[in-house]
């Protein structure tokens, strides 16, 4: 029997690499004759950079930058000198996890710090930058990032605006960079969702509330992103509002597309292709995957949904261990998932299961097999 372990992290609880080690240990104890292989995954959000380092042996480097609200911080990204490739996790600078709950402010948050990280990588010599976008505190359509890279956003009086969400509706002119900093640099974006830029399924309505936006602010931010897309048409000759992933990271997906000329790719699929995991899926009898919480987003570009679709393609059995699950039996059936075991149900307490997941992995494996 060949068992393939391929989970994402359990956000706020345990990283994917450590989780794989725990799962493999318990499965080998149950089935010593089985062939067990483990491949930790990431979708482009928090933890993406560490997974890149795990597989490709990149070097971690530091950059002076700012968080989403402008406070100075030091952030880290991965760099491969030989290929001149930088792997940047936008959450390392502009992430929600860097802000206290009471400090979250979607109107004022900016991706400027992510732009500073990109600038640092280019100055270091990067000719290719792969940007993982997820876990953002921002809803600025990427104008903060663009501002850090030389773009300017002017109001009706021709004055520069602070590049944040509340400024989107005030932009009247986009001024292009005066330098050639971005020339000859290839950009790819690893997205973890497929949301459009605007509307009920867009960045502001779906993710704005968790970033501190009130109902009134959500509407203002959505109107701002619609206005930004109108400006894209005016100054760049194209609209990206309906592009899958344009709404990722508060519209950073759209900003990367337009300001950087980046290709937006599903983060999990990009990683699966890079490490040759599809061939391992073909060979496996059982695929064990998981993530912190199964929900509707899992059925889009997240790890579990993507693995389940690959498994269906090759008629493989899929089982899930996760922190918690909000999916119905019907949803699980659509994904072709055989079983779901949650650590919260084993622990009897969600907070306890998050705080000490290792205590419940053994029982979760037993219930799964």
Q: Are strands 286-289 and 317-322 parallel, antiparallel or unpaired?
A: parallel
CATH number at 346 reads 3.40.50.10350
Count structural domains, the chain.
Answer: 2
Q: How far apart are CA 164 and CA 147, in angstroms?
A: 10
Q: How far apart are CA 182 and CA 201, in angstroms?
A: 31
Strand runs (DSSP E) across 111-194, as ranges?
Answer: 128-133, 152-154, 173-175, 186-191
Looking at 242, 267, 292, the residue that finishes a domain is 267
pTM of the entire predicted model: 0.89
Tens digit of pLDDT at every position of the chain (369 positions)? 999 999 999 988 999 999 999 999 999 999 999 999 999 999 887 788 889 999 999 999 999 999 999 999 999 999 999 999 999 999 999 999 999 999 999 999 999 999 999 999 999 999 999 999 988 999 999 999 999 999 999 999 999 999 999 999 999 999 999 999 999 999 999 987 889 999 999 999 999 999 999 999 999 999 999 999 999 999 999 999 999 999 999 999 999 999 999 999 888 888 999 999 999 999 999 999 999 999 888 877 789 999 999 999 999 999 999 999 999 989 889 889 999 999 999 999 999 999 999 999 999 999 999
- With contact defined as beta carbons under 8 Å apart, do 263 and 131 qualify? no
Looking at 202, 233, 267, the residue that finishes a domain is 267
- Residues spanned by the domain of 193: 48-267
Looking at 218, 239, 267, the residue that finishes a domain is 267
CATH number at 71 reads 3.90.1510.10
What is residue 138's three-state secondary structure?
Answer: coil
């Amino acid at each position: 029997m060949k068992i393939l372990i391929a989970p994402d992290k359990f956000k706020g609880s345990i990283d994917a690499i450590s989780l794989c080690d725990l799962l493999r240990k318990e499965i080998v104890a149950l089935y010593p004759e089985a062939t067990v292989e483990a491949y930790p995954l990431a979708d482009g959000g928090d933890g993406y950079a560490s997974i890149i380092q795990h597989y490709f042996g990149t070097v971690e480097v530091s950059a002076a930058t700012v968080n989403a609200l402008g406070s100075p911080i030091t952030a880290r990204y991965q760099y491969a000198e030989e290929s001149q490739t930088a792997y940047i996790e936008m959450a390392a600078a502009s992430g929600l996890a860097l802000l206290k709950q009471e400090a979250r402010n979607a109107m004022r948050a900016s991706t400027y710090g992510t732009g500073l990280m990109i600038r640092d990588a280019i100055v270091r010599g990067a000719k290719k930058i792969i940007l993982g976008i997820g876990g953002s505190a921002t809803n600025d359509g990427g104008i903060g990032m663009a501002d850090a890279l030389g773009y300017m956003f002017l109001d009706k009086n021709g004055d520069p605006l602070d590049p944040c969400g509340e400024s989107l509706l005030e932009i009247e002119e986009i001024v292009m960079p005066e330098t050639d900093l971005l020339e000859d640099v290839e950009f790819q974006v690893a997205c973890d969702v497929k949301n459009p830029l605007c509307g009920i399924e867009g960045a502001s309505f779906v993710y704005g509330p968790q970033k501190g936006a009130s109902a009134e602010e959500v509407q203002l931010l959505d109107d701002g992103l619609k206005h930004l897309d109108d400006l894209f048409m005016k100054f760049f000759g194209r609209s990206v509002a309906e592009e899958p992933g344009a709404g990722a990271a508060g519209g950073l997906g759209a900003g990367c597309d337009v300001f950087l000329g980046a290709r937006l790719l599903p983060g999990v699929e990009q990683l699966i292709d890079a490490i040759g995991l599809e061939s391992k899926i073909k060979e496996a009898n059982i695929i064990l995957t998981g993530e912190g919480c199964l929900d509707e987003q899992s059925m889009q570009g997240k790890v579990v949904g993507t693995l389940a679709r690959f498994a269906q393609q090759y008629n493989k059995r899929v089982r899930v261990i996760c922190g918690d699950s909000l999916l119905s039996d019907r949803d699980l059936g659509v994904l072709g998932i055989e079983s779901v075991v949650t650590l919260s149900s084993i622990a009897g307490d969600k907070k306890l299961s998050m705080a000490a997941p290792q205590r419940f992995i053994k029982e979760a494996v037993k219930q799964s097999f």
